[in-house]
Amino acid sequence: MAKSLTRRQFTTAAAAVAATGSLALAVPGGAANPRPVRVGFVGVGGRGAGMLRHSLGIKGVQVPAVCDVNAARAANAAKMIARAGQKPPDTYTKGDTDFRRMMDRDDLDAVFIATPWEWHTPMAIYAMKRKQYVGVEVPCAITLDECRQLVKTSEETGTPCMMMENWSFRRDNLAVLNMIRKGLFGEIVHCHCAHSHNCVSWYTGKKWPAKHLLKRCADQYPTHSLGPVLSWMDINCGDRVDTVVSMATNQWGITDQLSRRHGKDHPSAKLDWKQGDIVTTMARTVKGKTIVINMDMQLPRPYDNRWMIQGTRGLYNEQRDAVYLAGGGKGHAPEKWSPFAPHQTKYEHKWWRGKDSPGGRYGLSGHGGVDPLELTLFFDAVRNKTQTPIDVYDSVVMSCIFPLSEISIAKGSQPVKCPDFTGGKWETAKPKFAVDGSPVA
Ligand SMILES: NC(=O)c1ccc[n+]([C@@H]2O[C@H](COP(=O)([O-])OP(=O)(O)OC[C@H]3O[C@@H](n4cnc5c(N)ncnc54)[C@H](O)[C@@H]3O)[C@@H](O)[C@H]2O)c1
């Protein structure tokens, strides 16, 4: 595999594509006969099998190998692959470290990892050392040390590692990004985001997330909140997270929900869960902008991300599905909420423009079409040996809120410094996520 591009090289190459109008860097996933991309899947449970299904629907994606400690799941994935008309894959099911045997093959261009969190970093590192592009589920790391290891390995091997944060690719979020880049909200100052989702099914003792929630009190799932925020606020390309402060409530929700569902004598309902019900994190950037992040995953509630981005000239509020733009400057212009829908149409990102766009092509399957879109863009990067749409720095900065919030909470909500994972590159790096030169797959 050719050496991957640095962020700066990638931006330059992408700009060249934009300038020349050439799509040489951007062999489209929708092309009639795209060059094959060979991917090994590790972990084909709920998420992995879903992403495998979408991948098999993308032209040129071949899956010669599947690994899961659960042989029945690996067999199920093998059936899906055969049903899609591909050669039945080799399966690797001999325990927790059998992924190494799969990654030792010399015919894989990339791996897709959707295992329990504690395996993400060790698996990603092993793959990068074999020059296999990494697509890894969220969060990509659960300690600061793991964040650093991912960056170090990606830099040393020249191999991209992309955390598959799907909400970065949402249609509405990308239209908001276009509005921000056109300056409609002025200078961006502040943002709210949340992952609010009743995930109490994670909390019965045998489910793997339970062991994390029993032992740690942190924002354990920060990436769906932060996905779009990174590009909205130029994090890692002009600004970076400097300080993090977190506060957690006590835990009542898990015990109450489990008692009501399974009876108060159920073993899981009697456990001493460390995870507080609501974790609120505040992050301040080097340039003095702020972000509020909520983890809210163990009280009964509908799904909600509560995105709100605010600048000197207006704001976008996802819950109200509306924008508020400042008037003409003399204080007399009618400043009022206006529905987001016309802005969505006007500022539609090209990844979603039209039914043949990579976003529109798949209809609403996979989180509203978002999952196949991000996979298409990931596989295009693998095929073209370019940087992935989300690079290792963006991947770890989203994930590091997990350990940083844990440290802050344990210290009675003291501020904690966020490491500069880019090693200073954030100061000169230009935005690259979903910029005009990005591939139209
Ligand atoms: N981006 C999203 O929208 C989204 C949605 C759901 C889950 N996820 C993420 O996907 C990942 C998987 O979650 P899930 O809900 O599919 O869990 P799951 O339990 O359904 O699947 C995990 C699979 O990994 C396998 N596994 C465990 N240890 C392994 C090992 N050492 N080697 C190989 N296989 C191993 C398990 O047998 C299982 O089949 C998690 O990181 C989760 O956070 C992301």
8-state DSSP, 20: H
Give the residue-averaged pLDDT of 133-138: 98
Give the residue-averaged pLDDT of 14-27: 31
Which residue's alpha carbon is nearest to atom 39 within ligand 1? Answer: 45
Per residue in 211-244, pLDDT (tens digit) is 999 999 999 999 999 999 999 999 999 999 999 9
Q: Pocket of ligand 1, candidates 115, 125, 162, 378: which has the most ligand atoms within 8 Å of its Cβ, to mutate?
A: 115
Query: By C-alpha distance, which of 242, 244, 234 is closest to 293?
Result: 244
Return d(Cα 187, Cα 192) in angstroms, integer: 16
Compute CA 432 distance to the chain's CA centroid, rounded to the nearest angstrom.
16
CATH homologous superfamily for the domain 7-166: NAD(P)-binding Rossmann-like Domain (3.40.50.720)
Per residue in 139-153, pLDDT (tens digit) is 999 999 999 999 999
Return d(Cα 122, Cα 104) in angstroms, integer: 14
Per residue in 200-209, pLDDT (tens digit) is 888 776 789 9
Return d(Cα 375, Cα 334) in angstroms, integer: 43
Nearest atom (ligand 1) to Cα of 97:
31
Contact between 441 and 359 (Cβ < 8 Å) = no
pLDDT band at 358 (very low <50, low <70, confident <90, very high): confident
Give the residue-averaged pLDDT of 27-55: 85
Q: What is the pLDDT of residue 18?
A: 32
Q: Where are the domains of the chain?
A: 7-166, 168-353+392-427
Nearest atom (ligand 1) to Cα of 223:
1
Q: Which of 89-98, 317-326, 352-361, 389-398 has the lowest mean pLDDT?
A: 352-361
What's the CATH number for 168-353+392-427?
A: 3.30.360.10
Give the residue-averaged pLDDT of 168-191: 96
- Is 168-353+392-427 in the same CATH topology as 7-166? no
Nearest atom (ligand 1) to Cα of 43:
24
Which residue's alpha carbon is nearest to atom 31 within ligand 1? Answer: 96
Per residue in 73-87, pLDDT (tens digit) is 999 999 999 999 999
Q: What is the pLDDT of residue 334?
A: 58
Q: What is the pLDDT of residue 221?
A: 98
Cβ(201) – ligand 1 distance below 6 Å? no
Give 43 Cα–ligand 1 centroid separation in angstroms.
Answer: 6
Per residue in 103-122, pLDDT (tens digit) is 999 999 999 999 999 999 99
Full DSSP string of 299-348 = SS---B---EEEETTEEEETTTTEEEE--SSSS-S---EEESHHHHHHT-
Which residue's alpha carbon is nearest to atom 6 within ligand 1? Answer: 47
pLDDT band at 12 (very low <50, low <70, confident <90, very high): very low
What whole-number percentage of the chain has pLDDT above 90?
82
Is the pLDDT at 328 greater than 80, yes or no? no
Return d(Cα 431, Cα 297) in angstroms, integer: 32
Q: What is the pLDDT of residue 339?
A: 95
pLDDT band at 354 (very low <50, low <70, confident <90, very high): confident
pLDDT band at 438 (very low <50, low <70, confident <90, very high): confident
Helix 392-399 to helix 223-232 angle (10° resolution) is: 130
Give the residue-averaged pLDDT of 300-326: 96
Name the average pLDDT for the chain.
Answer: 90
Is the pLDDT at 6 greater than 50, yes or no? no
Compute CA 401 distance to the chain's CA centroid, rounded to the nearest angstrom.
13
Q: What is the pLDDT of residue 330?
A: 56
Cβ(433) – ligand 1 distance below 6 Å? no
Q: What is the pLDDT of residue 14?
A: 35
Q: Is the pTM of this model over 0.85?
A: yes
Give the residue-averaged pLDDT of 304-330: 91
